[in-house]
Amino acid sequence: MLIFLKKLIKKISEFNDSISQYNEVAKQTAIPSKAYVNWGVYLANSGNMEEALEKFESSSYMRPLNPESFNNWGIALAAMERYEEAIEKFREAIKITPRHVKSYMLWGAALVELGEFEEAEKKYQKALELKPKDPEIYINWGISLARQEKKTLAEIKFKKAVEINPRAPQAVFLLAVILTELEKFDEAIEKIELSIKLHPNNPENWYYYSIALFKKGLHLEAFDKAKMAVTMNPTKADFQVNMAEVLFELGKTDKALECYELAETLGPDNPEVFSSWGVALQKTGEHFEAVAKLEKAFKLDPKNNMTKYYLALSRAEIGELNEAQEMLEKVIAEDERYIEAYMKLGSIACVKGDFYSAIARYKEAAKYSIKKTEANYLIASAYTMMCMYNEAIEYYKLAIESDHNHIDSYVGCAVALSEVDDTKDAIRKIRKAYQLAPDSAQINMIYGVILLKDEKTIKDAIEKLDNAIKLEPDNEAALIGKGEALVKLKKYDDAISFLNQVVFTNPELIPAYFIIGAAYEEKADSENKEENYINATQYYAKVLEQEPDHIGAHSSIAYIKARLGDTKSFENELKRLNEVYPEQKELIKIYFEKSLEKLDYKKNFEDIINLGKKP
């Protein structure tokens, strides 16, 4: 045997002289082509691709012709990303052995790398026709589908491979990975645990185990598994990134940053390092820093849509709305079903005040969403901002239909119904929101404000407003609402006392001064005491000190003057306000018509503002 090996090595060395000798040497059957194939495989595994190619080419001139010569030659070319040349070698292998399954699989894999997925699937189908029970074919086909983001179809192929061979390590592992990608975390964990039994020393198993647990919100358990992966291979950047993400969720920010810094050292050209780092910084509100990391990820992988999306988010947060909008448009151009991008474009349009564009974007998101609740809710919110309450109610109701526990939709719908004076239905909607979240200060406050619209439910309104104040003592709307409720109950002294305490702690709360003035005014109307009118005027004056254009305060002071006999000043103030604030004519009219009714005035609103005008 030793003599044979010495002769073999001597003859192999002769092959290195020149390619012109190969045909001659190939006639010597003492050295089979398989020996050169094995030598080429050894060189390829050692990273010496150019020499490996020489050996594979040498073996192709030898007899007997061996398809593995061409297959391995093709594999080496593919490893060097020379996929078209690799395909030519796989074709040559099939010419030698037309039913060679491996050649079809390799051909399919090379086509996948070229993005020719349909042609690749034809090759996998041909391989299956030749060997229908080969799990490797299903594995490779599954990889092809996963590369196309056809994850559900990839799952089917991997499951078939596992069905054929339940203990095939690669098939079980890849099935676990795709199940994790599909967010089928319980199934994924089951397969990962099996994969660990089959291959306990594979750190990738622990890495994906950690990811599945992390996505389920089991952060401590995810940390344990992430630690296993890092311990087994501390030099892999992806493992450090995973550990950083887990540590961030556990509140260990400093440790997380250390992991990101180490990951950057290990994988300075790995876009996932900077993408994950940027998203983590987003969560802590550090958007300028997030932009820096995400831009680096984008430069390394400009085609990654997720990176572009998150970069747009942070750009929007730092005020670069146009840049964010432009990037999101590119995201949609790449993937027209990227729902989150439409949603963010809608929110940017809202910030710009372009509510119709926002609604159009939200509707596009709804078109592609399986569950349309959030999109319909945002459409309704945009209509609400435009005071188009009937349209808003329609979409709030659509959101509620798709999710009967969507609290924000019940609240928004209640507010819109209240604005169109459908108080009865508004109360029904806010009651449902209250049942879902009885400890929400905001819901208690809105419930109270809506109940204030009906004289019969004012006491109930105070109860809800008191709840809101108890839950959130600085809830300004609840404080003002309670003061207004006390005035409606004609508890003027209670309202004045309560709101004076409010303005003592919050002297810039203008509505509180206004309602104190209103309390004194109504008390004066009921008791006919001039001193209360004087007190009311003083509080209205405090309103005007902070907000000189407050129509309500101006109108109320004019009313008090009329009540005290100065009707000329009353009429002059009405005309002045109408001239100075023409855009607020409707509001002025509401205040003054109420005053005219209380005064039992002989002239109407139009008579007064047209008095003295030329016909």
Q: Is 420 helix (H, G, I), strand (E, B) or coil?
A: coil
All residues at 6 or more sequence positions from 298 whose CB lies less than 8 Å from its CB, including other chains: 271, 304, 307, 308, 311
CA Rg, the chain, in Å? 38
More confident residue, 138 or 512: 512
What pLDDT score was predicted for residue 95? 85
3-state secondary structure 34-96: HHHHHHHHHHHHCCCHHHHHHHHHHHHCCCCCCHHHHHHHHHHHHHCCCHHHHHHHHHHHHHH
**117 or 402, greater pLDDT:** 402
Is the model more confident about 58 or about 113? 113
Contacts 24+ apart (CB under 8 A), 84-87: 84/114, 86/110, 87/111
What is the DSSP track for 335-383?
Answer: -TT-HHHHHHHHHHHHHTT-HHHHHHHHHHHHHH-SS-HHHHHHHHHHH
Q: How far is CA 261 from CA 119, 158, 204, 255, 288, in A?
A: 42, 36, 21, 10, 18
All residues at 6 or more sequence positions from 4 whose CB lies less than 8 Å from its CB, including other chains = none
- Give the model's pLDDT for residue 371: 84
pLDDT at 527: 92
DSSP helix/strand/coil, 139: helix
Asked if pLDDT for residue 6 goes beyond 70, the answer is: no
Q: What percent of the chain has pLDDT over 90?
A: 66
- Asked whether residue 25 carries a pLDDT value surpassing 60, the answer given is no
Cβ(345)–Cβ(378) below 8 Å: no
The CATH label, of 3.40.50.2300, 1.25.40.10, 3.30.565.10, 3.90.580.10, for the domain at 336-437 is: 1.25.40.10
Per-domain boundaries in the chain: 336-437
Give, for 312, the enclosing helix (H) or strand (E): helix 305-317
pLDDT at 18: 32
Q: What's the pLDDT band for 51 if we cut at 50, 70, 90? A: low
